[in-house]
Chains A and B, each alone.
Chain A
């Protein structure tokens, strides 16, 4: 089945550090990937839609310069949290779908903790 790999699974770093999270579709190509953020005991909130070869589409309220998205190939999208601060601490999850009628498959998420 379709597999989405997300790395790293856990990051702890100091305030002001930039953190890059990778999302890979292992056995299919994905022109579109999605980045979500999940706060404790809450649902997933879409941050942005990553489009291969073009600019990402950000949801309202999500800072483009804060959360840099690069989708340079059909199997890899990256999310960089720039100059991270404690309020950026959260669980970040990516997803991708192998086809128009196929369900989205999710990575295992990245737990980001900013000290």
Chain B
């Protein structure tokens, strides 16, 4: 079965410090991996995706993520956190072999990022 795990409910960092939000996945085929951010009472905003190619993917707002096939991980990173980065972050996977390229996303439970000044 396809699944996504975000082991941390919350990540706390000081402004200006690097941040990492962890994500591991399990799919039967080739994964399409995504990171989304959600602000209170809002839908999800797309940050970045990995389909194929370079393992290091750069996305919106200075975020990047590294795809590691051997560890089945796709951790989200940012070199210098901002207070405005505080939000709920979701990792998601689309299993192409399961639902095709238009298949639905399977989400992790979310990680709350709190950046303090």
Contacts and interface: CB of A to CB of B under 8 A. Distances in A.
Interface of A: 4, 6, 31-32, 34, 42-44, 46, 49, 91, 93, 95, 97, 100-101, 103-109, 111
Nearest to A105: B46
B41 to A, nearest CB: 6
Nearest to B46: A103
A103 B42 contact: no
A79 B90 CA distance: 24
Contact of A106 (B36, B102, B106): B36
Contacts of A107: 43
A31 B104 CA distance: 13
A60 B71 CA distance: 31
Interface of B: 32, 34, 36, 41-46, 49, 51, 90, 100-102, 104-110
Nearest to B9: A41
A101 B42 contact: no
A42 B109 contact: yes
A91 B42 CA distance: 9
A108 B42 contact: yes
B49 A108 contact: no
B34 A103 contact: yes
A104 B105 contact: yes
Given A101-B101, A104-B105, A109 B110 contact: no
Contacts of A32: 102
Nearest to A35: B104
Contacts of B100: 100
Given A43-B110, A101-B51, A108 B105 contact: no
